Structure 1
Amino acid sequence: MEPIFLALIFIAIIAVGEVISIGSRARIPTLLVVVATVFILLQTGILPESYIAASTFVAVGGVLVPVLIVHLGTMIPFKTMMQQYQAVIITLIGLAFSVTAVIVLVTLFFDYETAVAGAGPITGGIIAYIITAEGLREAGLTAIVAVPVTVFTIQNFFGMPLSSIFLSRYAKKICAGETAATLVDATTKEVEIESNQKRHLLPKAFMESNFILLFLLFAGGAIAVFLDGLTGINASLWALAIGVTGAALRIYPERSMEKANSSGITMIALIFVVINSLIGVTWGQIVASLLPVMVIMVVGITGLMVGAIIGAKVFKWDLNKSIPVVLTALYGFPGDYLIVEEISRSVGQTEAEQKRIKDELLAPMLIGGFTSVTVGSVAMASILISTL
C-alpha cells in the first residue's frame, strides 16, 4: 500500500479522536482514543505492525522530537513566568514531591525501573512519555513499556475531575467576594504587546519567515543532539535549555513553531511516534501493568497534592486554588483552559462573575500546566531515564 494511503488511515484515527475530544470538552483526550484504537487494531491483527513504519511519519516524528522541545522552551514569556512565579514554584514543589514519592514507594513495592517508567509520564504529557518509552526500549526494558503507555492514557481521567471539584469550590468563594481577583488577562495582554514590540536578534522580516524560523528550530535541535553525544546529558534537556535561553535572548520568537505555521503537522508526526511505541506491547503486558500503574497513580497524585498543600502554606494560597494548579501536570493544555471556561460558566451567575472567575484562575492554571507538562516533566523524565 502507498505511504499516503497508510498515513491517511492513521490521520483518520487521529481526526476521530479529535472529534470525540471536542465533543467531550477534552474529558476524553484525543491521544487516549488514538492509542486505544491503534492498540486494539494491532492486537486483533486488523492493522499490521509494518503499516506504521511504512507510513514514513515515524521517521519524521523522530527527527522532530528535539525540534519540538526547543519550541516548548519558547512557549512561556519570561516576564509572565516572573509575574506568576508563585504558580510556577507551587507546581515545581508538587512535581518534586510526586516524583520523589513514586521513586521511593514504587521501588519498594516493585522495582526502580517500574518507578522510573511511571514517574516521567505522570508529571507531564506526550514528550515526557516519548522520552520514557524510548529510554526503556534502549535500556532493553521492553517488558515494562506498557507502564508508561497505561499511565499516559488514563491520567487525564484522574486529573480533570479532581481539578473541577476544587476549582468549583474556589469559584464560589470568588463569587462570594472571599478572594481578591487579579486581572491577569489584562496583564497577559500587556506582556504579549510588550513582547511583540521588542527587537529580536535578526531583522523583523527574517523573523516572519517560516523557513528561517524552522531553520533556527532545527539548528537548536541539532545542537542539542550534538551536545548529547559530547556530554552524555540527554538531548531533551539541552533542547529545552536552548529554547528557553534562545527566547530570553530574543533569538527565537515566543511560540516559534506556531509562528512558523508548523505546529499541526509536527504534532501529527509526534503522535505517530507514540503509535510506533505500541509495537510489541501485548494485552498481557497491559494487564500485568495495571497493579503498578494504580500504585503509581495513587502515589503520584498524592505527591502532587501534598506539594500543592505545602506550596499553599508558603504563599498563603487557598488549597482549592493551589491543588488544581499542580494537578494540571496530569492533563495540561487545552484541558486546563477548558476546565476554567466550564467552571466560570457553571458557577458564575452573571457575566461579571464569570469574568472574575476567569481573571483569577486562567493565568495560574495555564502557567501551572506549562510549568509541569512543558518544562518540568521533560527535565524530570530526561534525568530519570538516564539513570537506567
Structure 2
Amino acid sequence: MQPIYIVLILIAIIALGEVLSLSSRAKIPTLLVVVAVTFLLLQTGILPESYIEASTLVAVGGVLVPVLIVHLGTMIPLSVIKSQYKAVIITLIGLVISVALMLSLITLLFDYSTAVAGAGPLTGGIIAYIVTAEGLKEAGFTAIAAIPVVVFALQNLVGMPLTSTLLSKYAVSIRDDLSSRDSSNGEGDSDGSALLGTNSQKKLLIPEKFLSSNFILLFMLFIGGALATWLGEVTGINYSLWSLAIGVAGAALRIYPDRALDRSNSSGFAMVALIVVVVSSLVGITFEQVVASLVAVITIILIGTTGLVLGGIIGGKIFKWKSTKAIPVVLTAMYGFPGDYLIVEEVSRSVGRTKEEEKRIMDELVAPMLIGGFTSVTVGSIVIASVLISTL
C-alpha cells in the first residue's frame, strides 16, 4: 500500500476521535478513540503492523518530539506564572504526593517498574507517555509495555468527570456569593487570555520581520531540539528535560516568541505526527497483555488520583482555597489542555444564570485551571517521566 493511503487511514482515525470529542464536549477524549480504534484494527489484522512503520510518519514524529517540547517551553509566560503562583504550587504539591504514593504503594503491590510505567502518563500528557514508553522499550521492560498506554487512554475518564463535579459545586458558591461580583483576586480573564496566546507580544531579540517567516521559526525550534538531543547524549540527562529548559529559557531571554510552533503554522501537523508515534507504540502489544495489565492500571489510576486529590486538599488548606477549587486545578494533570478550558466553559455556562454570572465564574476559574494544566502536563510530568525512567 502506498504511504499516502496509510497516512490517510491514520488521520481518518484521528479525525474520528476529534469528531467524537467535540460532539461530547471532550467527555470522549480524542486519544482514547485513537488508541482504541487503532488497537482493534491492529489486533484484527485490518491494519497490519507493518503499515504503520511504512507510513514514515513515525520517523517524522520521532524527530519532532524534542522540537515540540521546546515549543511547550515557550507556552507559559513567566508573568502569568508569577500571578498564578498559588495554582502552580498547589499543582506541584499534588504531583509530588501522587508520585510518592504510586512509587511506594504500587511498588509494594506489584513492582518498581510498574510504578514507573504508570507515574509519568498519569501525571501528564502525550510527551510524558512517549518518554515513558520509549524508556521502557530501551530498558527491555516489554512485558509491561501496555501499562502506560492503557493508563494514558483511561485516566481522562476519571479525571474529567470528577473535575466537572467539583468545579460545578465551586461555581455555585461563586454564583451565590453576591459580594464576589465586586472583588478581584488576580485570577481573572486577562491571565487566561495570556495563556491562550492572545497576550500582547513582547519585543524579541530577533527582528519581527524575520519571525514572520514560518521557515525561520522552524529553524530556530529545530536548533533547540538538536541542541537538546546533543546535550542528552553528552550528559546522560534525558533530552526531554534539555528541550524543556531550552524552550523556557529561550522564551524568557526573548529568543523564542510565545507559542513558537503555533506561530509557524506547524503545530497541527506536528501533533498528527506525534499521535502516530503514540499509535506506533501499540505495535507488538497483544490483547492478552492489555487484559493482564488492567488490574495494575486500575490500581495506578486509583492511587494516583487519590494522591492528586490529597495534594489539592493540602494545597487548598495552605492557601485558603476551597477544596472544590484546588482539587480540580491539580486534576488537570490527568487531561490538560483543551479539556481544562472546555470544562470551565461548560461549568460557567451551566451554572451561571445570567451572562454576568457566567463571566464571573469563567474569569475566576479559567486562569488557575489553565496554569494547573500547563504546570503538570507541560512541565511537571515531563520532568517526572524523564527522571523516573532513568532509574530503571
The alignment's TM-score, normalised by the length of structure 1, stands at: 0.98
Which position in structure 2 is the counterpart of 1:265?
269
Give per-residue Cα distances to partners, 1:122-143, cap 9 Å, x unaligned. 0001000000011100001111
1:280 aligns with 2:284: yes
User: Which amino acid letter does the alignment assign opposite residue 185 of structure 1?
Assistant: D
In structure 1, C-alpha distance between the alignment counterparts of 2:333 and 2:157, rounded to whole Å: 12
Percent of residue pairs identical: 66
Which position in structure 2 is the counterpart of 1:98?
98
How far the C-alpha of 1:91 sits from its partner, in A, is 0.3
How far the C-alpha of 1:209 sits from its partner, in A, is 1.2
1:314 aligns with 2:311: no
Name which of 312, 321, 324 aligns with 2:328. Answer: 324
Runs of 4+ in structure 1 displaced over 2 angstroms?
Answer: 178-183, 186-195
For residues 370 and 193 of structure 1, do their structure 2 counterparts lie closer, same or farther at Cα, with a shift above 3 Å needed?
closer
In structure 2, C-alpha distance between the alignment counterparts of 1:50 and 1:165, rounded to whole Å: 43
In structure 2, C-alpha distance between the alignment counterparts of 1:15 and 1:231, rounded to whole Å: 40
How far the C-alpha of 1:184 sits from its partner, in A, is 1.3
In structure 2, C-alpha distance between the alignment counterparts of 1:143 and 1:205, rounded to whole Å: 52
Give per-residue Cα distances to partners, 1:227-253, cap 9 Å, x unaligned. 011000000000000000000000000
In structure 2, C-alpha distance between the alignment counterparts of 1:155 and 1:102, rounded to whole Å: 14
Q: How does 1:161-200 map to 2 (within 5 A)?
A: 161-177=161-177, 180=183, 182=185, 184-189=188-193, 195-196=200-201, 198-200=202-204
1:63 aligns with 2:63: yes
1:344 aligns with 2:348: yes
Which position in structure 1 is the counterpart of 2:86?
86
User: Which amino acid letter does the alignment assign opposite residue 174 of structure 2?
Assistant: I
The DSSP-based 3-state class of the residue aligned with 2:278 is: helix
Give per-residue Cα distances to partners, 1:292-331, cap 9 Å, x unaligned. 1111111100100111111111111111100000000011
Given that residues 192 and 366 in structure 2 are in contact (C-alpha distance below 8 angstroms), is that contact kept between their aligned partners in structure 1? Answer: no
Given that residues 120 and 128 in structure 1 are in contact (C-alpha distance below 8 angstroms), is that contact kept between their aligned partners in structure 2? Answer: yes
1:216 aligns with 2:231: no
How far the C-alpha of 1:165 sits from its partner, in A, is 1.0
How far the C-alpha of 1:195 sits from its partner, in A, is 4.5
Given that residues 174 and 181 in structure 1 are in contact (C-alpha distance below 8 angstroms), is that contact kept between their aligned partners in structure 2? Answer: no
In structure 2, C-alpha distance between the alignment counterparts of 1:29 and 1:194, rounded to whole Å: 28
In structure 2, C-alpha distance between the alignment counterparts of 1:272 and 1:235, rounded to whole Å: 20
Name which of 336, 339, 362 aligns with 2:366. Answer: 362
In structure 2, C-alpha distance between the alignment counterparts of 1:384 and 1:195, rounded to whole Å: 37
In structure 2, C-alpha distance between the alignment counterparts of 1:193 and 1:27, rounded to whole Å: 26
Give per-residue Cα distances to partners, 1:62-88, cap 9 Å, x unaligned. 000000000000011110111001001
The alignment's TM-score, normalised by the length of structure 2, stands at: 0.97
Given that residues 181 and 356 in structure 1 are in contact (C-alpha distance below 8 angstroms), is that contact kept between their aligned partners in structure 2? Answer: no
Structure 2 unaligned residues grouped into runs of 5+: none
For residues 194 and 160 of structure 1, do their structure 2 counterparts lie closer, same or farther at Cα, with a shift above 3 Å needed?
closer
For residues 189 and 61 of structure 1, do their structure 2 counterparts lie closer, same or farther at Cα, with a shift above 3 Å needed?
closer
The DSSP-based 3-state class of the residue aligned with 1:119 is: helix
User: Which amino acid letter does the alignment assign opposite residue 277 of structure 1?
Assistant: S
The DSSP-based 3-state class of the residue aligned with 2:205 is: coil
In structure 1, C-alpha distance between the alignment counterparts of 2:199 and 2:124, rounded to whole Å: 30
Which position in structure 2 is the counterpart of 1:9?
9
Give the total of aligned pairs.
387
In structure 2, C-alpha distance between the alignment counterparts of 1:296 and 1:258, rounded to whole Å: 34
1:76 aligns with 2:80: no
Structure 1 unaligned residues grouped into runs of 5+: none
How far the C-alpha of 1:186 sits from its partner, in A, is 3.0
Given that residues 128 and 382 in structure 2 are in contact (C-alpha distance below 8 angstroms), is that contact kept between their aligned partners in structure 1? Answer: yes
In structure 2, C-alpha distance between the alignment counterparts of 1:226 and 1:316, rounded to whole Å: 44
Which position in structure 1 is the counterpart of 2:230?
226
Alignment root-mean-square deviation, CA: 1.3
For residues 155 and 194 of structure 1, do their structure 2 counterparts lie closer, same or farther at Cα, with a shift above 3 Å needed?
closer
